[in-house]
Chain A
Amino acid sequence: MSLLSVENLDVRHGLLKAVRDVSFEVGEGEILALVGANGAGKTTLMRAIAGAHRPASGRVVFEGADVTAMPAHRRVRAGLALVPEGRRLFPDMTVEENLIVAGANGRRGGAWKVDTVLEAFPILKPLRFKRAATLSGGEQQACAIGRALMTNPRLLLLDEVSLGLSPIAVEGVYRSLHTLIDGGATIVLVEQDLARARKVAQRIICMLEGRMVLEGPADRLTSREITEAYFGLGRVQPKGAPA
């Protein structure tokens, strides 16, 4: 049985259909990458899976249970954690408090504690008692991932973890992610860097204008196929159809 299944999901921002009829499944231990241009609906899809945005129609099924109507905080307790775009730490709380507040409210009975998170993200160790707002982008990203881990997720959703980071910081974040991946974590990640997405993920889904236009194993898709799907180059407009 798959851990997460998204069925015919439609998500709107007012009149705008940001996600249209998206369906896919994620199995236990799988790493899935969502790629696509800005505005393709990746972030909206991630937020709908996490419960931060109510879909217009379709279902989100997690561990066999329909969670479509479940508020975000209860999905977290069920084991679904999102690292939001832009990191979104609690700025006036210390690194340690950011971790503790997530640990106290997340899923019970996992291996992640403050000490194990600091072990996995050694750059956070000297910053433990500093206010989150004073951290650099890479440090904040490490803290945001650590905070999500504190909820002991069964499925981790990572939205653009490399956004706005220096190449060195991105390297550091992905090094830590590989530790998680080697430990058997299940991850859905949004990544703008196609080469990195192909390297990290086992499967890739490419989105365009809210729809899934390409799906396949990372090692079988060519970069040409992904690029064409990414920019919508391969699409043939049916004759007589409205543009």
Chain B
Amino acid sequence: MTYVNAVFQGIILGGFYALLACGLSLIFGVMRIINLAHGSLAVLGAFITWWIVDKTSLSPFLVLIPSLIVMFGVGWALQRGLLERSLRAGILIPLLTTFGLAIVIDNVLLGVFSPDVRSLGGQAGAVTTTSWKVSQQFSISALGILILAVAVAVLGGLSLFLRRTTLGRAMRATAQDSDTAELVGIDSRGVYARAAGIAVATAALAGVFLAIRAVVEPSAGPTQLIFAFEAVVIGGFGSLWGTLVGGLILGVAQTLGAQINPQYANLAGHLVFLAVIAVRSGGILAAREGTA
């Protein structure tokens, strides 16, 4: 029963990783940028939310609305002001740009909010304390279910958005061939900016859930980036459903590792990541865009 519990907790943790990773996957899929500032942007979103909650004492779930809108704007401006220019200089420059941006965000957060850890758990209400005990070793937390449900809803929503809406189809067309997308009337710059906005907003959503279920500090970004990156690579770059699968595999690996010894949690995740790269460098569900 303890292993059943570990797998279950792993699935819930994996849902969080999938939520964290889907924006990374989207930016890579549409713009072919590996956004190394993704983790730091998630933490920035958490701190913006924490700051508003601290000033207004509103529920973090309510404050999510303005902070996600702000973070959408941050992503949009980031694409227009920074990434668009660096993309023109080849594939290496965006990597360096986002790496530098991560350092800037981390240090601005450190300067403004001090290195203290913060949590939104206290203000999130009953959802953080409610849980259902199935047996002595097996309990289901309401927050875990909520995070998993949000992750599935966000990934499913994004997938539907890309398949069924006008903007989503324009996004896929631009991802496949931006030059030709322009020739059928698609404003590729506008599409890129909106994709970056959506990606950064989902990162911020994950950051807020991190702060609700645990704590965030200004230096948390790079660790979150590594988890998101591993989830994306395990699942296959550019494939949204692959990212969900990758997140779940990473989460389960970590909780099973922790079951053996609490110190093995991250190690087990990294080992699974390396094993997937060794066996299938394209990831479990290799993106079709990558092979076409």
Q: Is A194 part of the contact surface with B, judged by Cβ < 8 Å?
A: no
* Chain B residue at minimal CB-CB distance from A51: B182
Stretch at the interface among B123-131, B173-181, B269-277: B173-181
* CB atoms of B292 and A92 under 8 A apart: yes
* Chain B residue at minimal CB-CB distance from A150: B184
Q: Is B88 part of the contact surface with A, judged by Cβ < 8 Å?
A: no
* CB atoms of B182 and A151 under 8 A apart: no
* CB atoms of A133 and B173 under 8 A apart: no
Q: Is A142 part of the contact surface with B, judged by Cβ < 8 Å?
A: no
> How far does the alpha carbon of A51 sit from the alpha carbon of B186 in the complex, in Å?
13
Q: Is A81 part of the contact surface with B, judged by Cβ < 8 Å?
A: yes
User: Among the listed B169, B185, B288, B292, which residue makes an inter-chain contact with A77, where contact means beta carbons less than 8 Å apart?
Assistant: B185
Question: Which residues of A are found within 8 Å of B187, using beta-carbon distances?
Answer: 71, 73-74
* CB atoms of A88 and B177 under 8 A apart: yes
Q: Is A97 part of the contact surface with B, judged by Cβ < 8 Å?
A: yes
* Chain A contact residues, CB within 8 Å of chain B: 50-52, 71-74, 76-77, 81-82, 84, 88, 90-93, 97, 100-102, 104-107, 133, 147-148, 150-151
* Interface of B (DSSP majority class): helix
Question: Which residues of B are found within 8 Å of A104, using beta-carbon distances?
Answer: 166, 169-170
* CB atoms of B176 and A73 under 8 A apart: no
30 contacts between A and B (CB under 8 A): A71-B187, A72-B182, A72-B183, A73-B181, A73-B182, A73-B186, A73-B188, A76-B184, A76-B185, A77-B185, A81-B183, A82-B183, A88-B177, A88-B180, A90-B176, A91-B176, A91-B292, A92-B292, A93-B169, A93-B172, A101-B169, A102-B185, A104-B166, A104-B170, A105-B186, A106-B185, A147-B184, A148-B184, A150-B184, A151-B185
* CB atoms of A97 and B177 under 8 A apart: no
User: Among the listed B169, B183, B186, which residue makes an inter-chain contact with A84, where contact means beta carbons less than 8 Å apart?
Assistant: B183
> How far does the alpha carbon of A93 sit from the alpha carbon of B182 in the complex, in Å?
16
Q: Is B54 part of the contact surface with A, judged by Cβ < 8 Å?
A: no
Question: Which residues of B are found within 8 Å of A88, using beta-carbon distances?
Answer: 177, 179-180, 183
**Given contact pairs A91-B292, A93-B176, A101 touches B182 in the complex (Cβ within 8 A):** no
Question: Which residues of B are found within 8 Å of A147, using beta-carbon distances?
Answer: 184
* CB atoms of B185 and A84 under 8 A apart: no
Question: Which residues of A are found within 8 Å of B173, using beta-carbon distances?
Answer: 90, 93, 101
How many residues on B have C-beta within 8 angstroms of the other chain's C-beta atoms? 20
Query: Assuming A93-B173, A101-B184, A104-B169, what are 11 further A-B pairs, CB within 8 angstroms?
Result: A50-B183, A71-B187, A74-B187, A76-B184, A77-B185, A81-B183, A88-B177, A90-B180, A101-B169, A104-B166, A104-B170
> How far does the alpha carbon of A216 sit from the alpha carbon of B114 in the complex, in Å?
76
**Nearest CB of chain B from residue A220's CB, rounded to whole Å:** 34
Question: Which residues of B are found within 8 Å of A91, using beta-carbon distances?
Answer: 176, 292
Question: Which residues of A are found within 8 Å of B182, using beta-carbon distances?
Answer: 51-52, 71-73, 76
* CB atoms of A92 and B183 under 8 A apart: no
Question: Which residues of A are found within 8 Å of B166, using beta-carbon distances?
Answer: 101, 104-105
**Nearest CB of chain B from residue A68's CB, rounded to whole Å:** 16
* CB atoms of A106 and B184 under 8 A apart: yes
> How far does the alpha carbon of A133 sit from the alpha carbon of B169 in the complex, in Å?
16
**Nearest CB of chain B from residue A75's CB, rounded to whole Å:** 9
> How far does the alpha carbon of A66 sit from the alpha carbon of B188 in the complex, in Å?
22
> How far does the alpha carbon of A52 sit from the alpha carbon of B172 in the complex, in Å?
19
* CB atoms of B172 and A151 under 8 A apart: no
> How far does the alpha carbon of A148 sit from the alpha carbon of B183 in the complex, in Å?
8
Question: Which residues of B are found within 8 Å of A77, using beta-carbon distances?
Answer: 185
User: Among the listed A71, A90, A102, which residue makes an inter-chain contact with B172, where contact means beta carbons less than 8 Å apart?
Assistant: A90
